[in-house]
Structures are given as structure tokens and as C-alpha cells.
Structure 1
Amino acid sequence: MKTPIKHITMWCFVLFSAITLQAQNENAETLNYLILSKNIQQLKPALITANALAKEDGKTYGNLYVVFCGKTVQDIADNSEFNALLKDINSNQVKIFICGLSLNKFNVNPADLPKNIQVVENGILYAFQLKKQGFISLTI
């Protein structure tokens, strides 16, 4: 019995589609998140959010970056609650950044900041650069 070419073409299409869908699932895009904040009190909700996103996203979860800008940078060095929360940032790929322009404006010495905080020259510019890289962002 001869198989019509139409049936062969259809089965080839179905097989190709299945292979393509499987490859897309295996190469799922990593989801990275950014929070730009002017309030260090947002660190605790950011950590809670990171935990929820890691569970929700599963293997596609990448990182959650938090960038603090503005006057709030004055309150970081001596804030025991904030510094205690920083000990939790190793879980769920959370990274904390501080705006260097804000540090300069409010006369905060970067050496007074906890060691696991990174200073970026311009927090707003850094946020835009991360957006260009595909980070999902929120300003609070």
C-alpha cells in the first residue's frame, strides 16, 4: 500500500513541531529581575519576593538585583535590621547595589557599607543597562 505524499508531509511537520517545542522548553530563557528603590525598608519584601519568584519560576529563575538610590543610602551603614537581612541574600541569587552618585551626594563613605553590597557609579544608568539585558524591572 502506497502512502500518499500528503500524509508523509503531515507526519514530518508534526515530528518537526514536537522536536522544536522540546528544544524551546530545554532552552527556556532565564528570568532576571530588578528592583530600583529609594527606601532600604524594601529589602525585606524584596527577599520575600525573590523566594516566591524562585519557587514560581523554577529552573528559569536567574537573579534578583536590588539597586538603592537617593537619601536612603545614609541609613545603611548603621541599620542593624538591614544588615541582618543582608545575611539572607546568598539564597535565591539576590544581589544588592548602591548608587555611587547617591553616596557622593549624601557624603556616605563606601568603606562604611557592608561588604556584600556593591557600589555602582550611577544606579539609574545601571538599571537602564540591566533593562537592555532583558531584566524585568520594578521601581518602588
Structure 2
Amino acid sequence: METTPKQQISFLVLRSLGSLIFIVAGISHLVKTAGAAARLEKAPFAHLATWIAPAETLIILSGIGLLIGGFMLLAGFKTRLASAGLLAILVPITLTVQVGSGDYGPLFKNVALIGMLIFFIVNGARHYGLDQVLKQKKKASLAPMRNGSYAAVLAVGFLVLLGSCATTSARHTTQEATARAFTKYAVLISQPNHLKAAVNTAETITKSSKYNRESFVVMACGKSVEAFRRDGAMAAEIEKGRAAGVTYMLCGMSLQQFKIPAADLVDGVEVTPNGLTYMFDLKQQGYTTVEL
């Protein structure tokens, strides 16, 4: 809720006039210490305070506190703190000196002052105080810092964006490199009828497909070597595979097992001593291997 200029001035008047009471009281405590100490000692509840320190010491300390707090309240400087300090002094004075004295005027004057102090503890100086001046200066000094903070946030955000782009690019590069690394395929077959499935796969996995095939090896082991006899039933299938870029490798141990001499094999096939170790070698070279 906004306040009008008149209302703002009323806060200043309340704070100024109220602070004068504490300033005058503080001066009185320091100038007329003996008289104030005598009144304290005669008060009905003086024992509540004098057990802490002698009456004269308490009067001097309270006078200093009232004077400092009064001037702080008048200037509107650390208003909440000043009001809390004055309240801490005023309440014991009221309880020890005013309560039970039979003079209700000073008692309710202190009660009214307590209410005023609570108001300023809750609200602060509100208007025309040093608190407001310092607050404005603080805002002005923080403005460049905020601008710098915004710039820093933008810079960090930009760096994060660049980092994410670089990470994404690196991930894509890695994926592409991985895809390129898996462009060589090898199929291990063990039965003659496996040859047809291997050739069909080679025709599907081409360079133009998503598999980006560079080479395709069919490694024949076991009984599958019989499919490679010259003038055998699989001759046409072998030619289809060769047209699709298939390289045929035959296991030497399997040829010996089934007593198939090299002269009986179709043209264009290669023989390796051990088909299984050959597959291991291909895998180490980056081939994707499948066993049928």
C-alpha cells in the first residue's frame, strides 16, 4: 500500500518527537545521576535491578543506551535495532520504577513509548531516514554488479551451449566412426544350406544400405565345405554371392575331414588352415561376425 507525502511526514514526526524523549532522558541520567539513582533505590521493585549492579552504575549505563538509541532513532539509522535496544532498556525501567509507584502518568507514558518502539521494530524508519538513503545507495552500487552478473550468466550459458554442441558433435562423430568400423561382415556357416542364407544376407547388406558394407566374408567350416564342390548343386548360389561381393573362405581342416581335394573346389575360393581362428582374426580386425 502506497503512502501519501503527508503520511510519510507523519512517520518522520513520530520518529523525531519520540526519539527526543529518549535523548532527553539519557542526558538527564548522565547529568543527574545521583537523583536518578536515589529514585531507583526508593522504587517498590528496585531489588529486581539492583541485584545486577549498583543503582548509580545502572543509571549511567541506561543513560548511555538511551542517548545512543535516541540519536539512532532520530536519524533513522538501524531503526529496528535502535528501537529494540531502547525497548530492552525501557521495559526494566518501567517494571522497577513505574509499576507500583502509584503515579500512573509516567507509567502509561512508558507504555505508549513501548508501543511506538514496537511499531518501529516492525516497520523500520519507513521514510526520511538514513536507512532509506543507505538502501538507495546499495541498490545503485549493486546495479553494475547485477549487470555484470547477467553478463556472466549469459557467458556461462553460452559456454554450456557450446559445450553441449561440441558433445553432441563428438557423439555423432563417434557414432559415425563406429558405424564405419562395423562395415565389414563375416558369416560362419557349418551346413551346405546355410550358404543360401548367407548369400541372401550379402545381397541385402550393400554399400548403399544403412549397413554401409565394405566387405562380406563367408567362412565355410564343417559339412558346409561340400557346397563348394565343382559342378555342385550350389554353384549358381555361389555365383550370386560372388556377384554381390562375397569372399569365400574354406576351412582346411574341414576339407581334410570330408576328403575334398582342392582340385574339386569351384574357382575363386580361398582355403585357410583353421576356419575358427580365421574368424577370430577377422573379429580383431573389426569385422562383425555371425555364426549360422
Common fold by TM > 0.5: yes
RCO higher in 1 or 2 (8 Å CA, sep ≥ 6)?
1
Is residue 132 of structure 1 aligned with residue 284 of structure 2? yes
By percentage of residues, which structure has more helix? 2
Which residue among 39, 55, 63 is the counterpart of 2:215?
63
Residue 202 of structure 2 aligns with an amino acid whose one-letter code is A
Which residue among 10, 17, 20 is the counterpart of 2:170?
20
| Cα separation, partners in 2 of 1:62 and 1:38, compared to 1, 3 Å | same
Say how many residue pairs are matched: 140
How is 1:102-121 mapped onto 2 (pairs within 5 angstroms)? 102-121=254-273
**Root mean square deviation of aligned Cα:** 2.7
Q: What residue number does 2:181 align with?
A: 30
Q: Which consecutive residues of structure 2, in runs of 5 or more, have no partner in the other structure?
A: 1-146
Q: 2:203, 2:227 → 1: CA distance?
A: 25
Is residue 40 of structure 1 aligned with residue 192 of structure 2? yes
Q: Which consecutive residues of structure 1, in runs of 5 or more, have no partner in the other structure?
A: none
| Cα separation, partners in 2 of 1:103 and 1:80, compared to 1, 3 Å | closer
> How far apart are 1:69 and its partner, in Å?
1.4
Q: What residue number does 2:158 align with?
A: 8
TM-score normalised by L of structure 2: 0.42
Q: 2:214, 2:269 → 1: CA distance?
A: 19
Q: Percent identity?
A: 24
Deviations 1:81-106 (Å, cap 9, x if unpaired)? 31111212234432111111111232
By percentage of residues, which structure has more strand? 1
Deviations 1:30-82 (Å, cap 9, x if unpaired)? 32222212212211111111223337953632322211112342453145431
Which residue among 72, 94, 97 is the counterpart of 2:246?
94
| Cα separation, partners in 2 of 1:86 and 1:64, compared to 1, 3 Å | same
Residue 162 of structure 2 aligns with an amino acid whose one-letter code is C
TM-score normalised by L of structure 1: 0.78
Deviations 1:6-53 (Å, cap 9, x if unpaired)? 123123213323432453355332322222122122111111112233
1:81 is paired with a residue whose SS is coil
Answer yes or no: is the 8 Å Cα contact 1:54–1:61 preserved in 2: yes
1:126 is paired with a residue whose SS is helix
Answer yes or no: is the 8 Å Cα contact 2:193–2:224 preserved in 1: no
